[in-house]
Amino acid sequence: MFAYENFFRDSGLRKLPLFISGTIIDAAGRTLSGQNTEAFFISMMNAKPFCIGFNCALGAEQMYPFLQRLSNISHFYVHAYPNAGLPNAMGGYDESPENFAINAKKFCTDGMINMIGGCCGTTPDYIAALWNAVKNVPRR
C-alpha cells in the first residue's frame, strides 16, 4: 500500500483501483501477520480499497466463516479466491472441480462477495465449474 500510494502520488497518474487480499493460514483464522479478520480489515480500511478479500491457504469450505465475518463488516467490495481444498501431504489438492464449485458457490448464494476466483490448485476445469455454478447468482 505504501508503494501504491507513493507511485501514484509521484507519477501524477490517475490512481487505479486498489485490491487488497489477505491469506488465512490456519483454522483459527489468522492472517500471515497474525491478525484475525476484524484486525485485518481495520488495518487495511484506511487505504480505501476498491475491493478486499481473502485468497489462498484454505479451501472454500474452510474459508467460509472468515469471509463471512469480513463481508459483514466491509463497506468495500469483497472477493474470494480459495484453493482447490487444503493442500495434501504431497503438496497437491484433492478436491474435485465440482466440489470446489459447490463450496465456493455458498459465498455467492449467501450474498457475501462481489468477485470470485480460484487460487492454488485451481485449473481451468475448476474455474469452468465455478462459473457454471455461480453465473446466475446475484452479486453482493
pLDDT, tens digit, for every residue of 88-128? 888 889 999 999 999 999 999 999 999 999 999 999 999 99
Q: Which amino acid is at 127?
A: I
Instruction: Give backbone dihedrals phi and psi of 106, rounded to 5 degrees, phi first.
Output: -60, -30
Task: Say what the pLDDT of residue 96 is.
Answer: 95
Domain residue spans in the chain?
A: 20-134
Average pLDDT over the chain, rounded to an integer = 93
- Judged on CB neighbours under 10 Å (0-12, 13-18, 19+), 124 is exposed
pTM: 0.90
End-to-end CA distance of the chain: 25
Helix-strand-coil split of the chain, %, nearest 5: 40, 20, 40
Task: Report residue 27's pLDDT band, with 50, 70 and 90 as the boundaries.
Answer: confident
Task: Say what the pLDDT of residue 26 is.
Answer: 85
Q: Class assignment of domain 20-134?
A: alpha beta
Task: Say what the pLDDT of residue 139 is.
Answer: 77
With 80 as the cut, is the pLDDT of residue 140 above it?
Answer: no
Task: Say what the pLDDT of residue 56 is.
Answer: 84
Q: How many residues does the chain have?
A: 140
Average pLDDT over residues 62-73: 95
